[in-house]
Chains A and B, each alone.
Chain A
Amino acid sequence: MKCMRNGGAREGTGRRGTALVFSLVAVSTVVVLAASFTQYASLVSSRQAQAVDRKRAFYIAEAGLAEAYSGLTCGKSGVVGTPETPALFGEGVFWTTTTELAPDLIQLDCTGIVGSGRAKLSLVARRGSETVFTLGMFGDDAVAIPAGSRIDAYDSSKGSYASQQDKSGAALGSNAAIQVSGTTLLPTVIVGDVTPGPGLSVAVTGTVNISGSQQPAHGPTVLPPVSAPQTSLAPAKIHDSPYPLVIPAGESGYQSLTIKGGSQLVIQGPATVVLGSLSVENKADVTFDTANGPIELYVSGAFDLASGSMVATSGTEPSDVLIQVPGSPQKPAALRATGSLYGLVFAPQGQVVLGPALNVFGAVVADVLAFDGAVHMHFDKHLAALSADERMPRQLAWRIVDMGSIGEASADPFDVLGLDKTALLPPAKSHADQVLVIDYYDYSNVYHTYDGPESEFDWTVVKDVIEATRDGAQVFLPRNTPKTGVMKSPGTLPVVDGPMV
């Protein structure tokens, strides 16, 4: 019985064991599949997390570039953070370095790190430049406005001069004294500001109406030199024909060009024309055809639009015609022609003489300004808006930089770089410190001056900036109304600020 029971028990155990084996095989198979799937899912998840981190690092680097670029727009160096003390941005960090490629070209490189993601982006920008044409009518030397003159302003972006009622906003300035004359029969009208050099005043004789301020300049205005583009010049030419001489679009030039009476010169834009000298004789015509683009004319020697000659521009946009006089020619650029010149004239080291029969719409800036008679100058206020655009840096190139490897691919950039997260500053406070020299008005309209590290200056006390430089470079601040003319002196001594922060 025992044996039978035992034997029966053994058989029963054997059957139960078979079921167990089947169950174990089934469970093991499912477990292996589940484990394999889990491992694969984990691998995929990890790869996707890395892809997400790469994207986050990319966007952090973009944010860093944007911060540096916005710094450039207001005269900062473009350096934001360093590898040792990067700027803290979200859960990641970035730092931006700069490389000067040329006097007006700067390269910004930004490295962003977050989680296991790293990205480096590079941007090359051309620095903005200040144009002198917001000065309106300006002479480095003393300026004497004759009787019967009219100097006013209009906005070429709002229509023609004749169609505009508001003629205010003209700017007449000098680094030296300014004298304005008028008579009862020939009164002089200046609808705007007259700004003599620092510490000087405006001498008015006779019937003169100046609607704006006559405060002197805050400081001297430096006129940048002009250099003509390098281009091969054709031999000297004298044009004496009933058929017009057409200088077509593109770059061209003559060693000298003379337009005889009864002949016509047409310059077609877009063109850059370099002339050793230009003489447009009595009864000759010169036309600037800007229908297809702007014209830049450089005249390095004698420049004479003789009395009795005619000048005309096909368009009415002054910024389309730029006449520049490089160097310091012995003879003045004499614009004694009759007609309307919509254009900008710049002779930083030369003399410009304006005749009474010429109406200038735009701006004239020269070392010496002289007049043969009453001057008719209509400053284009739109030049200020154009100048504000030109002050902004312009992006030339943007690219992703291959980073290679940056040490250990840790999930925490603070570990990799050995950083204390709590000690890092946000991007706005991570710009490299610079020497700030600033003249400004506070909210009580008190004139202040400060010269020291920008980190010790409190910008919140500034209501209006008169003038500022960072590391010696002019600071251009975005303004709702772009300024024209020469910066005025506050007329009082400033309060000298010490460290504020």
Chain B
Amino acid sequence: MSRRSRAGFTVIETMIALVIIGLVLTKLTLVIDQARRAHEEESVCMALDDQALELIDRIAYALYGSDPQKVTPFMETPLPASEIHFQVSLGVEDGEAVWSDPEVIGLTEQGDAVYWGQNLGEAGERVVVWANTVSELLQDEVLNGLDDNGNELADELGLAFVMNGRSITIRLTLERMQDDEKTVQVTRETTVTCRN
């Protein structure tokens, strides 16, 4: 009897051990889950930031070679445009500047993608979607006719262009929804001076 009782565990001992193991497992699961969530959130943030940087650079490089006189619509603050039509210089021929076919950068009809197009509605039309994670509105902006995010623009969409003389300011917000339905947003802004 005494030998058996020494060799085994009482029910209470077993229960205590199981509870401790359960607690440890629960805690571990929580820690791992938190780490996974943090990893995912950071990864999404970094990916969006990377994408926003690349996209805004791409738009900027496309606009550098334009002539402000050939850019439309010529929207001044506080009226942003979500689409910009322009032509870039291709060089000089017979003493005259040669310009590209009309180009456009803007939001698609759904408003969630940025596209670049050339010769829209004409022969030789080309359209390329550059990004499809554009936010409906710029970060911290609400459709209420007011400047909610303090950038002197009202109700600007996820991609906004504003012209000031020879300069074009580009603002962009990208967003992505995570598994937990939490939305991550990244906003980038740059100003391009037309070189022609």
Contacts and interface: CB of A to CB of B under 8 A. Distances in A.
B15 to A, nearest CB: 15
Contacts of B35: 29-30, 33-34
A124 B25 contact: no
A26 B35 CA distance: 11
A54 B61 CA distance: 11
A409 interface: no
Contacts of B24: 19, 22
Interface string B24-52: 11001001100110010011001101100
Contacts of A428: none
Interface in A19-52: 19, 22-23, 25-26, 29-30, 33-34, 36-37, 40-41, 44, 47-48, 51
A40 B44 CA distance: 11
Given A122-B91, A399-B89, A48 B53 contact: yes
Q: Which of B17, B42, B65 gathers most chain A CB within 10 Å?
A: B65
Contacts of A459: none
Majority secondary structure of chain B interface residues (helix, strand, loop or mixed): helix
Contact of B50 (A33, A34, A47, A101): A47
A398 B61 CA distance: 12
A501 interface: no
A141 to B, nearest CB: 34
Interface size class of A (residues with CB under 8 A): 35 or more
A15 interface: yes
Nearest to B54: A51
A44 B46 contact: yes
Interface string B63-86: 011000000000000000000000
A396 interface: yes
Interface in A116-155: 122, 124, 126
B196 A397 contact: yes
A55 B88 CA distance: 19
Given A37-B43, A397-B89, A7 B7 contact: yes
Given A40-B43, A105-B92, A397-B196, A4 B6 contact: yes
Contacts of A23: 28
A15 B16 CA distance: 13
A400 B64 contact: yes
B39 A397 contact: no
A102 B95 contact: yes
Contacts of B49: 44
B52 to A, nearest CB: 11
A291 B25 CA distance: 91
B195 interface: yes
A51 B39 contact: no
Interface string B1-35: 00100110000000001000100110010011001
Interface of B: 3, 6-7, 17, 21, 24-25, 28, 31-32, 35-36, 39, 42-43, 46-47, 49-50, 53-54, 57, 61, 64-65, 88-92, 95-98, 195-196
Interface of A: 4, 7-8, 15, 18-19, 22-23, 25-26, 29-30, 33-34, 36-37, 40-41, 44, 47-48, 51, 54-55, 101-102, 105, 107, 122, 124, 126, 395-400
Given A29-B32, A34-B35, A102-B95, 20 more contacts: A4-B3, A4-B7, A22-B28, A23-B28, A33-B35, A37-B39, A41-B42, A44-B46, A44-B47, A47-B50, A51-B54, A54-B57, A124-B92, A396-B97, A397-B89, A397-B90, A397-B91, A397-B97, A400-B61, A400-B65
